[in-house]
Amino acid sequence: MNILVCISNVPDTTTRIKYSADMKSVDYSGVQWIINPWDELALTRAIELKEAHPALVQKITVITAGGADAEPTLRKALACGADDAIRVDAPGGDSLFTATQLAHAVKGEPFDVILCGIESSDYNGSAVGGMLAELLDYNSVSAVSSLNLEGNSVKVTREIDGGKQSIETSAPVVLIVQKGIAINPRIPSMRGIMTARTKPLKVVAAAAASPGSKVVGYQAPPQKSACKMIDPENIDELVHLLHTEARVI
């Protein structure tokens, strides 16, 4: 069984967002890039599964659609334990554009389980995984919080509206994963970093694709007004303010 993990290259979660002067684009100068947190958990689970079932899981591949500047992030994924990497040489676009690029590189390749994070921490689209599944005409399960492999069967837990479900499905399948799939992300070891340098990283040319949406501009979110401090000896004051001033209880 071969596992593919889709990786989004995103600014570190503590990044302060800066903009171009016309507010039409984000200024990425000085930004630290990381593996999207959910993708990092997906990769972690893939590595755990390969360790637990060495006879069953043959290979873990990571893929991203992006420019050459995304390669350090792919190398980090290789250092964590992925076996090889694919970069689709496509500049940024919307979710439809990105999913089309990934599908183009994946179509016909022998991947059995494709893992995507449920969201990318930059544009918070929650879209690429589901789109990729549809473009490949594979089954998909979203909001997956646990994943196990038993022979050819893929066993997952998914969150549903108001609860959760245990689901069984079979390869090929796209799983869109969230918190719980793994707890602590794998951190590259020294040895991992060394071997990552020589692991294969294939660059695939972009497919012809047109996006379905485009960014018009950005705004900084509105500033919060100052916090009203309340004396811990006077909790009634808090209750009173929430009731009469904020009117939320």
Partner 1 sequence: MSVLVYIENRNGKFKKSTYEIVSYGKRLANGLGSSLTLLSIGRVAEDELKNLGAYGAGKILSAETDAPLDDKAYASLIASAAQNSGATLVVMAHNVTGKALAPRVAVRLNAGLVSAVNGLPVSYQPFVVSKKAFSGKSLMQAEITSDIKVITLSQNTAGIETFAGEALIEKIDTSSMTSGTKVVSTEVQTGKILLSEADVVVSGGRGMRSADNWKPLEELAGVLGAATACSRPVSDEGWRPHHEHVGQTGKVVAPNLYFALGISGAIQHLAGISSSKVIVAVNKDPEAPIFSAADYGIVGDLQTVLPKMTEAFRKLKASS
Ligand X SMILES: Cc1cc2nc3c(=O)[nH]c(=O)nc-3n(C[C@H](O)[C@H](O)[C@H](O)COP(=O)(O)OP(=O)(O)OC[C@H]3O[C@@H](n4cnc5c(N)ncnc54)[C@H](O)[C@@H]3O)c2cc1C
Residues that bind ligand X (CB under 6 A): 13, 37
3 vs 143, beta carbon nearer partner 1: 143
Question: Could you tell me the smallest distance in angstroms from the CB atom of residue 51 to partner 1?
Answer: 21
67 vs 217, beta carbon nearer partner 1: 217
Q: Name the region of 238 (left: φ>0; alpha: ψ -120 to 50; beta: rest).
A: alpha
Q: How far is CA 216 from the centre of its chain?
A: 24
Question: Could you tell me the smallest distance in angstroms from the CB atom of residue 131 to partner 1?
Answer: 4
User: Is residue 98 a contact residue for partner 1 (CB under 8 A)?
Assistant: no
Q: Which residues pair with 153 in a beta bridge?
A: 150, 170
Select the residue interacting with partner 1 from 62, 128, 147, 196 (CB under 8 A): 128
Contact positions with partner 1 (CB under 8 A) in 182-201 = 183-184
Cα distance between residue 209 and residue 95, in whole Å: 11
Contact positions with partner 1 (CB under 8 A) in 3-32 = 11, 13-17, 26
85 vs 172, beta carbon nearer partner 1: 172
- Using alpha carbons only, give the angle 145, 120, 149 rounded to the nearest 5 degrees: 30
- Check if the beta carbon of residue 120 is closer than 8 Å to that of residue 153: no
Select the residue interacting with partner 1 from 55, 68, 208, 229 (CB under 8 A): 229
Cα distance between residue 79 and residue 188, in whole Å: 5
35 vs 144, beta carbon nearer ligand X: 35
Output DSSP code: residue 55: T
Q: How far is CA 155 from the centre of its chain?
A: 20
Binding mask 134-163 toward partner 1 (x if CB under 8 A, else -) reads xx---xxxxx-x---------x---xxxxx
Do you know the residue count of the chain? 249
